A and B are shown apart, each in its own frame.
Chain A
Amino acid sequence: DIQMTQSPSTLSASVGDRVTITCRASQSITNLLAWYQQKPGKAPNLLIYGASNLKSGVPSRFSGSGSGTEFTLTISNLQPDDLAWYYCQQYKSYPWTFGHGTKVEIK
């Protein structure tokens, strides 16, 4: 199975900050990586697919980059509504696997 390692586990930032979350795959997944946002008590919501493609309707302050084994999710101009858990997920091969998640807190 492909292991997905996310860092940091938690980050605390101020409104307006730029924050970056990293995800590493245990083997190359080309660009078959997704980022999800999950708010408390809710289902995950797809933000990014294909490592860098913003899903329609997702605010442009979210962006993704990377390929192979190293990926990043960047939130520029952090907003109070961005308080959530963020998960990366590879869909290169079965079983699909997720990172442990990053909790984004607002200072």
Chain B
Amino acid sequence: QVQLVQSGSELKKPGASVKVSCKASGYTFTSYPINWVRQAPGQRLEWMGWINSNTGNPTYAQDFTGRCLFSLDASVSTAYLEINSLKADDTAVYYCATKMVRGPYPVDVWGQGTTITVSS
């Protein structure tokens, strides 16, 4: 079945970097985009942006431009989220998500989430 499996939780110090992976299975990876969504403790879901799984072209939400980097390796059907210069405010659960429908449609397949904790 269609599935996104993310890498495990990470504990990082302020100023460090982290790279989260999101491995897709059950569908043709290059056919559908990967979105990234953040959920800080007790906060609403925030859409970070998306990456075109065919071209590798990323689109970032304004709040996530600069320190966040989306990338992918189509040969292993995996997308990546890298966050640099981590701050305590980056502590959150990060989700990758995709949609199995072309055109205007919300994401309907989610990874299990990766918890990133930033603490000294």
Q: Determine which of A32, A89, A94 lies in contact with B45 in the assembled complex, contact meaning CB atoms within 8 Å.
A: A89
Residues of A81-107 contacting chain B, CB below 8 A: 87, 89, 91-92, 94-101
**Bound: A87/B46 CA distance, A:** 11
Please determine whether A97 and B47 come into contact, CB atoms closer than 8 angstroms. Answer: yes
- As a 0/1 sequence over residues 28 to 58 of chain A, the CB contacts with chain B under 8 angstroms (1 = contact) are 0000101010000011111001000001000
Residues of B99-113 contacting chain A, CB below 8 A: 104-108, 110-113
Please determine whether B44 and A91 come into contact, CB atoms closer than 8 angstroms. Answer: no
**Bound: A91/B59 CA distance, A:** 15
**Bound: A98/B39 CA distance, A:** 11
Please determine whether B104 and A98 come into contact, CB atoms closer than 8 angstroms. Answer: no
Please determine whether B106 and A43 come into contact, CB atoms closer than 8 angstroms. Answer: no
Chain B interface residue bracket vs A? 20 to 34
Is B62 interfacial (CB-CB < 8 Å)?
Answer: yes
**Bound: A94/B59 CA distance, A:** 9
**Bound: A42/B46 CA distance, A:** 16
The SS class assigned to the A binding surface is loop
Q: Determine which of B61, B104, B108 lies in contact with A95 in the assembled complex, contact meaning CB atoms within 8 Å.
A: B61
Residues of B within 8 A of A42 (CB): 112
**Bound: A100/B43 CA distance, A:** 7
**Bound: A20/B97 CA distance, A:** 27
Task: Give the 10 A-B residue pairs with the shortest CB-CB distance, closest first.
Answer: A34-B106, A43-B110, A96-B47, A95-B61, A98-B45, A46-B108, A100-B44, A91-B106, A98-B44, A49-B106
Interface residues of A (CB under 8 A from B): 32, 34, 36, 42-46, 49, 55, 87, 89, 91-92, 94-101
A-B contact pairs, 10 of them (CB 8 A): A43-B110, A43-B112, A43-B113, A44-B110, A46-B106, A46-B107, A49-B106, A91-B105, A96-B35, A98-B44
Given contact pairs A55-B108, A87-B44, A91-B104, enumerate 19 new A-B contacts (beta carbons under 8 Å). A32-B104, A36-B45, A42-B112, A43-B110, A43-B111, A43-B112, A43-B113, A46-B106, A49-B105, A87-B45, A89-B45, A89-B47, A91-B105, A94-B59, A96-B35, A97-B47, A98-B45, A99-B44, A101-B45
